Amino acid sequence: MVEKTEDAPVGAVPEDANQHCPGTEAEQAGKASACEGCPNQQICATAPKGPDPDLVAIEERMRTVKHKILVLSGKGGVGKSTFAAQLSFALAGLDKQIGLLDIDICGPSIPKMLGLEGQEIHQSNLGWSPVYVEDNLGVMSIGFMLPDPDEAVIWRGPRKNGLIKQFVKDVDWGDLDYLVVDAPPGTSDEHISIMQYLKASNVDGAIIVTTPQEVSLIDVRKEINFCKKVGIKVLGVVENMSELRQQLESAEFKSVDAQGEEQDVTNEVLDVLKSHAPHLLSSFVATSVFYGGAGGAEKMCKQIKVPFLGRIPLDPKLGKAADEGRSCFGDRDCSASAAALRTVINRILSVTEKGAGVSV
């Protein structure tokens, strides 16, 4: 039997918390006898506690940022960071002032995806300076602090939380139209910390990236439930890798004989097309990647009443652009994915600049 706590809870109380929860911001959060066996115990025990004097400084720093968007995913490998990078490129291409904050402390991939590997953070009397891709696109990541990009970051929660706080308190972001926050997969310390640090500065909401695969959609539902518990709007869900799509003329063709031997017949196929149907060479080849095909995310969104922002195909050229740290927009080779990305990003602009979104 848990002992009764007479004091009112400090901070939020998760829906699945034990009876007599002390609150997520209480000094005894995760440590009190009432916390034993609670599914939130470990997260509460490592999260920042009590009134934080730095919140005033963070709120002041964030006053110059008009819109703040979190990019989340229920699980890894769904293309969340690629989407966050291309979203930032696209917004900067619209002559908006953009900041991209990478809070994936243990797996920072944003420096590579923005073409900034090997860059270092500089400090001025105003604080840390972001690393700039262009004059209107600044980036901050722990990746700029590592002496070796292959070095593993093996940190416990409090140290991660401390660095994330520095990123929003000590970085001189300047006047921004959008701050895009690329978070790690799941619902862990980093997510709770960024929400606690930004809660007083009017976060627009979260974009959740998934694949059509049911395993990914299960975790998306958990991510949406997390947003509900911490009080953040879900701006919408993006279905990434909805299908494999590439230009026919850049595809490879194989034949496999009865013994399983593989033969490249690409030139033969393309020669036939050039001779008999040259107009088809600019067409796209599209095929499902996951069982059941595209549409799983949209169906889920209708069921739980959150916005569906659109589908983005799995495009090898987009993957190449990410590896090379460049935008896929304006690149003819990325035409299979760029149009879909533009549609999704236009919907995000419509939602954020109208102050819409769904509070779940």
Question: Is residue 79 part of an annotated ligand binding site?
Answer: yes
The enclosing H or E element of 331 equals: none
Question: Is residue 78 part of an annotated ligand binding site?
Answer: yes
Q: Are strands 205-210 and 98-102 parallel, antiparallel or unpaired?
A: unpaired
Entry field: residues in the chain = 360
Amino acid 171 reads V
Beta bridge partners of 100: 139, 180
Question: Is residue 75 part of an annotated ligand binding site?
Answer: yes
Residue 138 CA, chain-centre distance (Å), reads 17
Question: Is residue 44 part of an annotated ligand binding site?
Answer: yes
Question: Is residue 81 part of an annotated ligand binding site?
Answer: yes
**Coil/strand/helix, residue 201:** helix
**With contact defined as beta carbons under 8 Å apart, do 304 and 221 qualify?**
yes
**Gap between the Cα atoms of 41 and 45, Å rounded:** 6
Question: Is residue 138 part of an annotated ligand binding site?
Answer: no
Where do the H-state alpha helices sit in the chain? 41-46, 54-62, 80-93, 110-113, 157-169, 189-198, 214-230, 266-276, 296-304, 316-323, 335-353
Token representation of residue 223: 């991510």
Residues 218-231 as b or e (16 or more Cβ within 10 Å = b): ebbeebbebbebbe
Q: Are strands 131-134 and 176-182 parallel, antiparallel or unpaired?
A: unpaired
Question: Is residue 236 part of an annotated ligand binding site?
Answer: no
Q: Are strands 284-287 and 254-256 parallel, antiparallel or unpaired?
A: unpaired
Question: Is residue 80 part of an annotated ligand binding site?
Answer: yes
Where is the binding site, in residues? Answer: 21, 35, 38, 44, 74-81
Where is the binding site for [4Fe-4S] cluster, in residues? Answer: 21, 35, 38, 44
Where is the binding site for ATP, in residues? Answer: 74-81
